[in-house]
């Protein structure tokens, strides 16, 4: 397949610094006063204050997370905030599009769920749209993307099954952003896997509604075998 066509079909065109020969080494002075410096500071804060998220996701037979190895702050297309590069097992944080700490925290968690799925489920990101859809559903569901606070901030209101519809919509948009398929085809794929993937809450055990809740949810999930053994 032509390299340019492949980049477009797999979404790499949204992350220009992922292209061979495009990486630009910045000076110390540049890094101190740019989006990259701000991104690095917010990432460090996310790591320090959300340590349970970073490491718990990788305890189930996956490798430890190292900030300098597994995260990269880069300029991206204006339509995306982050991405998981399966080829390098690296999370891309879009330094030109992430401007608030709360946004950084959500993106880090969202992409770590993709990384967790990559390790746990051996996702075929490039050839199996159902795999991609499932991971996007899980990431939208468990990262806080569809929390009540965020939905109110977006002026999205609803009562009946609003959370599910938010997850479905964000997963659909994520798929359409990185794969060249029709909306109808993407909707069909999301619908086919939605129920099973929406109800897969690993490694938290349930949908976390806050940082504190996520920590306790993960602890309960890891202790589930101990509980059932005592029944």
CA distances from residue 196 to 133, 134, 178 in whole angstroms, order as listed: 11, 8, 23
Q: Which backbone phi and psi does 83 adopt, to 5 degrees?
A: -165, 160
Supply the mean pLDDT for the chain: 81
Query: Residue range 18-40: average pLDDT?
Result: 66
**DSSP-assigned letters across all residues of the chain:** --HHHHHHHHTGGG-GGGSTT---PPPHHHHHTSHHHHHHHHHHHHHHH-HHHHHHTTTTT-PPP-HHHHEEEE---TT-SEEEETTTTEEEEETTT--SHHHHHHHHHHHHHHHHHHHHH---TTT-HHHHHHHHHHHHHHSSTT-HHHHHHTT---STTHHHHHHHHHHHHHHHHHS---HHHHHHHHHHHHHHHHT--TTTSS---SHHHHHHHHHHHHTHHHHHHT-
| Interval 187-201 mean pLDDT | 97
Higher pLDDT, 119 or 191: 191
What pLDDT is stored for residue 204 in this prediction? Answer: 79
Backbone angles phi, psi at 58, to 5 degrees: -110, 10
Determine whether 231 is exposed, middle or buried from the number of CB atoms within 10 Å of its CB (0-12, 13-18, 19+). Answer: exposed
Distance CA 34, CA 80 (A): 19
The total of other beta-carbon atoms located within 10 Å of residue 135's CB is: 25
What the chain holds in terms of domains, given with CATH numbers, is 1-122 (3.30.2010), 124-200 (no CATH)
pLDDT reading at 213 higher than 60: yes
pLDDT class of 227 with cuts at 50, 70, 90: very low
pLDDT band at 2, cuts 50/70/90?
A: very low
Residues of the chain with pLDDT > 70: what percent?
Answer: 69
Backbone angles phi, psi at 88, to 5 degrees: -115, 0
- For residue 107, pLDDT over 90 is answered with yes
pLDDT value of position 205? 76
Could you report the per-residue pLDDT of 36-83, keeping only the tens digit for each?
A: 999 999 999 988 876 555 555 555 556 677 788 889 999 999 889 999
Annotated catalytic residue within 7, 9, 17, 111? 111
pTM of the model: 0.81
pLDDT tens, residue by residue, 78-99: 889 999 999 998 999 999 999 9
Predicted pLDDT of residue 74: 95
- Least Cα distance to 194 among 155, 224, 159, 163 occurs for 163
For residue 124, what pLDDT band results from cuts at 50, 70 and 90? very high
Nearest to 105 by CA among 147, 64, 148, 53: 53
Confidence at 101, pLDDT banded by 50, 70, 90: very high
Is 165 a residue of the active site? Answer: no
């Amino acid at each position: 397949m032509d390299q340019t066509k492949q980049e477009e079909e797999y979404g790499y065109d949204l992350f220009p610094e992922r292209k061979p020969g495009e990486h630009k080494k910045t000076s110390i002075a540049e890094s101190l006063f740019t989006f990259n410096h701000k991104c690095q500071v917010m990432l460090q804060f996310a790591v320090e204050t959300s340590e349970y998220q970073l490491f718990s996701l990788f305890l189930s037979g996956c490798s430890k997370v190292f900030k300098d190895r597994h995260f990269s702050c880069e300029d991206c297309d204006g339509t995306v905030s982050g991405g998981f590069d399966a080829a390098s097992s690296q999370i891309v944080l879009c330094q030109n599009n992430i401007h608030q700490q709360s946004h950084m925290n959500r993106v880090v968690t969202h992409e770590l769920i993709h990384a967790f799925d990559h390790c746990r489920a051996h996702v075929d990101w490039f050839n199996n749209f159902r795999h991609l859809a499932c991971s996007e559903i899980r990431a939208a569901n468990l990262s806080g993307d569809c929390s009540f606070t965020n939905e109110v901030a977006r002026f999205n209101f609803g009562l009946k099954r609003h959370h599910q519809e938010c997850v479905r919509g964000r997963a659909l948009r994520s798929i359409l952003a990185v794969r060249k398929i029709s909306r109808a085809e993407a909707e069909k794929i999301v619908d086919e896997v939605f129920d099973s993937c929406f109800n897969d809450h690993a490694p938290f055990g349930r949908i976390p509604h806050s940082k504190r809740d996520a920590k306790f949810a993960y602890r309960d999930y890891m202790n589930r075998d101990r509980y059932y053994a005592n029944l």
